[in-house]
Amino acid sequence: MVKPLLAFALASSLALAVTYDSSLFNALKWRNIGPNRGGRSITCAGTSSRPLEYYFGAVGGGLWKTTDGGTAWNPVTDGQITSSSVGAVAVSESNPDVVYIGMGETELRGNIMQGDGVYKSTDAGKTWHHIGLANTEAVARIRVDPKNSDIVYVAALGHPYAPNQDRGVFRSTDGGKTWKKVLYRDDHSGAVDLVLDPHDPKTIYAALWDVYRTPWLLNDGGPGSGLFKSSDGGDTWSEITRNPGLPQGTIGKIGITVSGADSKRLYAIVEASDGGLFLSNDGAQPGRLRVRIVAPSSAPSTTRACTPTPKRKTRSTS
């Protein structure tokens, strides 16, 4: 008896649901209640001189900007760029009107969107111009010299699905008019992270990742992966991948950063069977690198980002 009653009640409610006086709802209008973003995001940037102004790149929706600390966001690249996936964004510290974006995502899921190089704005995101590196396809990081907005570095992962030579670390000293490839391993290993020492921008650390993606497979790690250091603005590089204390097996993805309080303190998160989060207190100098593991990774295939606080030398985690 219960089931027939329920069926009757359901049928009655459906009948009532489609019979109403439409004039009762004429004053109602649909509105977007957010969040105002164009798909998932893997990059964001701002400057200390404009504490309420930030940008984030959506992997399917271009670049977005806020000028009120994130209360409202607006798209700033619509109709001006020819690919929609923003993998990296950087704002010049010396001139916050100068913004660079790199196209193509480097978080290699089963479905990813490739890009077409680097774009630049000189008016805080109002207008954009393509400035090259179209064949890099996936840009992981962009770093700008804090004292000169014309000196810019690009970490390009390259073609995610096939070998190509447009990968590694590129440098421009004229605001993107010309580019020079300053770090390159091979046609299947690209740059996945890049950081400038905030106290000495000529000291640069870069991570290469030996990887390729197919719709059904991620081939992650190999002899091309590695960690590198330059002390002359990228003219020359020293490999520090096998320095004492770092993993000795097959290396996958690496993240690297420098403490804002102490240039000799580095953090590296390394994907490997014996990987995890590593700490150096001597600036990764070859021959006397002292690294100790801070926290093991939860799984060999897990890599997380790490960013030290700018004014403290230590921070606790749980």
Parse the chain into domains and list their residue ranges.
Answer: 36-186
> Does the predicted TM-score (pTM) go above 0.75?
yes
Q: What is the pLDDT of residue 24?
A: 81
Q: What is the pLDDT of residue 310?
A: 43
Q: What is the pLDDT of residue 301?
A: 42
Q: Which residue's entry shows tokens 């000196």?
A: 151
What's the helix, strand, coil split of the chain in %, to 5?
Answer: 5, 35, 55
Question: What does the block give as tokens for 19?
Answer: 């019979």
Q: What is the pLDDT of residue 252?
A: 97
Considering Cα of 182, then 183, then 185, then 189, what sign does the dihedral take? negative
Rg (CA), the chain: 24
Name the β-bridge partners of 43: 57
Domain 36-186: CATH superfamily, name plus number: YVTN repeat-like/Quinoprotein amine dehydrogenase (2.130.10.10)
Q: What is the pLDDT of residue 215?
A: 84
Residues 144 and 89: beta-carbon distance below 8 Å: no
pLDDT tens for the chain, 318 residues: list them. Answer: 545 544 545 455 544 556 778 788 888 888 776 556 556 889 999 999 999 999 999 988 899 999 999 888 899 999 999 999 999 999 999 999 999 999 999 999 888 899 999 999 999 999 999 999 999 999 999 999 999 999 999 999 999 999 999 999 999 999 999 999 999 999 999 999 999 999 999 999 999 999 999 888 999 999 999 999 999 999 999 999 999 889 989 999 999 999 999 999 999 999 999 999 999 988 776 544 445 555 554 444 444 444 444 444 433 333
Q: In what order do the strands lie in the sheet with 50-58?
A: 41-47, 50-58, 62-66, 74-75
